Amino acid sequence: MTVQERVKQFIAKNFYVSDPSQLTDEVSLITAGYVDSTGMLEIISFLESEFAIRVEDKEAMPENLESIGRIAAFVARKQALKA
Amino acid sequence: MCGIAGSVALADGAPPPSLEDLQAMVGALRHRGPDEFGLYRDTHAALGHARLSIIDLATGQQPLCNEDGSLWVVFNGEIFNYLELRDELLALGHSFRTRSDTEVIVHAWEAWGARAFERFNGQFAIALWDAGRRRLALARDRLGVRPLYLCEHAGRLWFASEVKAIFAGDPTIPRALDPAGLAETFTFWSPVAPQTVFQGVTELEPGHARVVSRDGVEDRAFWEPRFPVAGRGAFPGSLPEAAEEVRARLEEAVRLRMLRADVPVGSYLSGGLDSSLIAALGRKVKGEKFLTFSLRFADAEYDETSFQREVAARIESDHHEVLVRREDIAEAFPAVVFHAERPLLRTAPAPLFLLSRLVRESGIKVVLTGEGADEMFAGYDLFKEGKVRRFWGRQPASTLRPRLLDRLYPYLARSPVAQQALAREFFGRGREGWAEPAFAHRIRWQGAAALQRLFHPDFQRRARSLDVVARQLARLPAPFREWSFLAQDQYLEVRTLLGAYLLSAQGDRMLMAHSVEGRFPFLDPTVVELANALPAAYKLRVLDEKHVLKRAAAGLVPEAILRRPKQPYRAPDALSFVGEGRPDWIEEVLGRPAVAEAGVFDPGAVERLWAKCRATGGAEQFSNADNMALVGALSTGLLDRQLIRPAPRREAPAELRTFVDRLPAPAGRGPAPGAERPQR
């Protein structure tokens, strides 16, 4: 499974989305109402355990986390740094 | 306080209402008025009444008529200024047979027509049938303390205090959940009148009177909230003068509600400022000991026992308490939903259901409450949050301004930087629209509306075909944008939360479930007019909520009550439903077959939600949004299986105390049963 797919699966499950096909890579998770600020913390904690990365406070920004596409790109950058 | 019901033919030639139908309607309202029952019927219309006797116990039965029997009324509620109105009407030449406030309504209608309602200081839902002119008039109090539902079906208009009575009156009325009503619930927390959650059923709007006749339907607001525009109509005095006036008017409002009853009146006591002040004023006007009632919680997080006891000791009341545990909430919840007649996103009504039971068991029928103070005097965090976010929005790039949020939500200052950044992002979204109507509310509404992701895709499409926020904002009164921002926020809060949810799902319904009448001094029209006229800064002074009210309460309530930070009333939500030995209905209504049958939610989504709830134990990891989603899913399921699926319960009430049957007796048969009973 790609990073996108794993993140999407987590969001559909954890935020009980009735129609996961609505979860495109681009859709804004906050604006579309899937995730609130508490939910973002749930996503961060999922990313840290699932992909063995550490999300710094200063990285917990919408630019990195507001869509599945951005999350995947962010995870890829973090993993590249580690490698 | 009572339940009312009835029906009227909308076209000539419709068959008269059957006695069984009318009795079934009244029977469905028995909990609202267990003391006496009455019916009126003629060829066109019928009125039914279930009475909770409070004023004029001996002769206040309903339906009740004017001198010549041409005008009939059923009435739920109280007209607190009925003695003053009675004197006025006597002077105009009307004559009275009873000492009731009900009879005042009949003569006021004769004297003033639809202008009568604006003269009433009260909480009421009224149906008046003018048999001569074949006109039905319906009216509801200014803020919606008392309910009144309507449904047109097969050539008749049915109306009743509760929807279940309409369904009982004609079981052929289709029963289905309305996507627009659910969309409003999952936005505002409750449908806003005239919307309901039942297809084909509407609710008369608060402050409206409707006349239904052969000429058609005329619906008119007899009252609307007013706020100062550019200082016009503003209270002219100083802050201390305002505090003095607030105190005087509240005391008078309490006096009317404490003393205008022929049964003892008690008071709720939450331990907060509002109910403490009301109870203290109650003690003062009564001049002797009376009963107070409090909710305690086994979960310390929600409990306010020490404050309640401190006030009770201060006013020397005969204090009664009920201790609410999580399992009590789970056990009561089906009955709570049955009475609330809508999905709920919080369990908070459940403890109030248990509290009214305690009141009833203590032999009390009437209680004062502090409801309305947070709306009239700006007590909620929402008002402060709106103020801070607008301040920030005026300089959206400011990094200092958002720090004011930490003063509102001190947990933010103690949170990890990531959470602070995310919270700021959350509160700062759309801040460039700071001057737009509902700027303060949108953030809340969006939070609840996000839960519509649980809806089944088909239902979601239907729910989203209508923009319920846009529809609400399209109905704003003309001067809205000229009011202060605080006034705008107060107006929306009164309309979408106080009237639609707090006074009904959490108020009237939970009280009347155990035949208890609530009385609301903060909603007295003279108190409301004053509160609305006060400058915003008297109510919300910088970030000090209810400032003028605290000044008004000084010396009346213990110092600790004035100083304590406001504690929002809450009850354990998901936590109530996850414990060992939880009731079986929980798994049933969340299970795939029941969810699929109800058709509102996606069964898989509810399954994921419930799995998350069990995995987290409903504790901290189960977020605020998760809690609302779970309670919403449970209550929607309970609503479906109690009020939509099963055939309506049709039970006739006990003996009719009043029965007036004006149907011509069918040829060859005697009069209808009871018709010979003399009308008292």
Model confidence pLDDT, tens digit, residues A51-83: 999 998 888 888 899 999 999 999 999 999 877
Structure tokens at A40: 């973002």
Option in B421, B449, B629 nearest A16 (CB)? B629
Q: B453, A33: Cβ pair inside 8 Å?
A: yes
Q: What's CA B106's distance to the chain center, in Å?
A: 25
**pTM confidence score:** 0.95
End-to-end CA gap in chain A: 20
Q: Compute the distance between CA of residue B313 and CA of residue B240 in angstroms, rounded to an integer.
A: 28
Q: Compute the distance between CA of residue B307 and CA of residue B305 in angstroms, rounded to an integer.
A: 6
Backbone torsions φ then ψ of B506, nearest 5 degrees:
-100, -10
CA nearest neighbour of B131 among B221, B213, B55, B235: B213
Q: Specify whether the CB–CB gap between B564 and B550 falls below 8 A.
A: no
- A83 Cα to chain B: minimum distance (Å): 25
Residue B63 binned pLDDT confidence (cut-offs 50, 70, 90): very high
- A15 Cα to chain B: minimum distance (Å): 7
Q: How do residues B277-292 score in pLDDT, each as one tens digit? A: 999 999 999 999 999 9
Residues of chain B in contact with residue A18, where contact means CB-CB under 8 angstroms, are: 453-457, 460, 601-602, 604-605
Q: Specify whether the CB–CB gap between A78 and A14 falls below 8 A.
A: no
Is B187's pLDDT higher than 90? yes
Q: Compute the distance between CA of residue A62 and CA of residue A71 in angstroms, rounded to an integer.
A: 9
Residues of chain A in contact with residue B469, where contact means CB-CB under 8 angstroms, are: none
Q: Compute the distance between CA of residue B679 and CA of residue B675 in angstroms, rounded to an integer.
A: 9
Find, in chain A, the residue whose alpha carbon is nearest to that of B460. A18
Q: A16, B449: Cβ pair inside 8 Å?
A: no
Q: A58, B425: Cβ pair inside 8 Å?
A: no
Q: How do residues B102-111 score in pLDDT, each as one tens digit? A: 999 999 999 9
Structure tokens at B304: 């306010």
Is B678's pLDDT higher than 90? no
Q: How do residues B537-571 score in pLDDT, each as one tens digit? A: 999 999 999 999 999 999 999 999 999 999 999 99
Residues of chain A in contact with residue B421, where contact means CB-CB under 8 angstroms, are: 57, 60-61
Is B160's pLDDT higher than 90? yes
**B453 touching chain A per CB within 8 A:** yes
CA nearest neighbour of B638 among B331, B329, B343, B345: B343
Burial class (CB in 10 A: 0-12, 13-18, 19+), B231: exposed
Q: Specify whether the CB–CB gap between B1 and B54 falls below 8 A.
A: yes
Taking all residues of chain B, what is their mean pLDDT, rounded to a whole number?
A: 94
Backbone torsions φ then ψ of B138, nearest 5 degrees:
-120, 140
DSSP letters of B158-225? EEESSHHHHHHH-TTS---B-HHHHHHHHHHSS--TT--SBTTEEEPPTTEEEEEETTEEEEEES---
CA nearest neighbour of B306 among B511, B567, B572, B519: B567
Residue listed under structure tokens 């209905």: B585
Percent of chain B, pLDDT > 90?
89
pLDDT score for B17: 85
Q: How do residues B613-671 score in pLDDT, each as one tens digit? A: 999 999 988 999 999 999 999 999 999 999 999 999 998 887 899 999 999 876 544 44
Residue B268 bridge partners (DSSP) = B293
Q: Tell me, what's the ipTM?
A: 0.90
Structure tokens at B223: 């009252």
Residues of chain B in contact with residue A44, where contact means CB-CB under 8 angstroms, are: 418
Q: Mean pLDDT across the stretch B436-451?
A: 95
Q: How do residues B192-229 score in pLDDT, each as one tens digit? A: 999 999 999 999 999 999 999 988 999 999 999 999 99
Q: A33, B449: Cβ pair inside 8 Å?
A: yes
pLDDT score for B675: 44
- A80 Cα to chain B: minimum distance (Å): 22
Q: Specify whether the CB–CB gap between B54 and B263 falls below 8 A.
A: yes
Q: Mean pLDDT across the stretch B365-380?
A: 98
What is the maximal distance between C-alpha atoms in chain A? 37
Q: Mean pLDDT across the stretch A32-38?
A: 84
> Beta strand B36-41 with B658-661: parallel, antiparallel or unpaired?
parallel
Residues 6 or more apart in contact with residue B129 via CB below 8 angstroms: B6, B8, B40, B45, B47, B71, B72, B73, B135, B136
- Using the CB atoms, write b or e for B236-260: b if 16+ within 10 Å: eeebeebbebbbebbbbbbbbbbeb
For helices B417-428 and B381-394, give the axis angle rounded to 10 degrees: 80
Residue listed under structure tokens 């709920």: B344
Residues of chain A in contact with residue B623, where contact means CB-CB under 8 angstroms, are: 36, 38-39, 42
pLDDT score for B679: 43
Option in A17, A18, A60 nearest B421 (CB)? A60
Q: What's CA B269's distance to the chain center, in Å?
A: 19
Q: Compute the distance between CA of residue B608 and CA of residue B526 in angstroms, rounded to an integer.
A: 50
Residues 580-639 of B with CB under 8 A from A: 601-602, 604-606, 608-609, 612, 621, 623-625, 629
Q: Compute the distance between CA of residue B278 and CA of residue B520 in angstroms, rounded to an integer.
A: 9
**B419 touching chain A per CB within 8 A:** yes
Is B357's pLDDT higher than 70? yes
Picking from B405, B422, B602 by the largest number of A CB atoms within 10 A of its own CB, the best residue to mutate is B422
Q: Specify whether the CB–CB gap between B242 and B538 falls below 8 A.
A: yes
CA dist list (Å): A65 to A58, A79, B77, B448 = 12, 16, 54, 22
**Torsion over CA: B672, B673, B678, B680 (sign):** negative
Residues of chain B in contact with residue A13, where contact means CB-CB under 8 angstroms, are: 608, 612
Q: A39, B623: Cβ pair inside 8 Å?
A: yes
Amino acid in the structure at residue B553: A
Q: Coil, helix or strand for B650?
A: coil
Residue B13 binned pLDDT confidence (cut-offs 50, 70, 90): confident
Q: What's CA B680's distance to the chain center, in Å?
A: 34
Cα angle B356-B184-B465, degrees, rounded to a multiple of 5? 160
Q: How do residues B487-513 score in pLDDT, each as one tens digit? A: 999 999 999 999 999 999 999 999 999
**B187 touching chain A per CB within 8 A:** no
Q: A19, B629: Cβ pair inside 8 Å?
A: no
How many residues can be counted in chain B?
680
Q: Specify whether the CB–CB gap between B608 and A13 falls below 8 A.
A: yes
pLDDT score for B667: 59
For helices A37-51 and A3-14, give the axis angle rounded to 10 degrees: 140
Option in A31, A39, A60 nearest B625 (CB)? A39
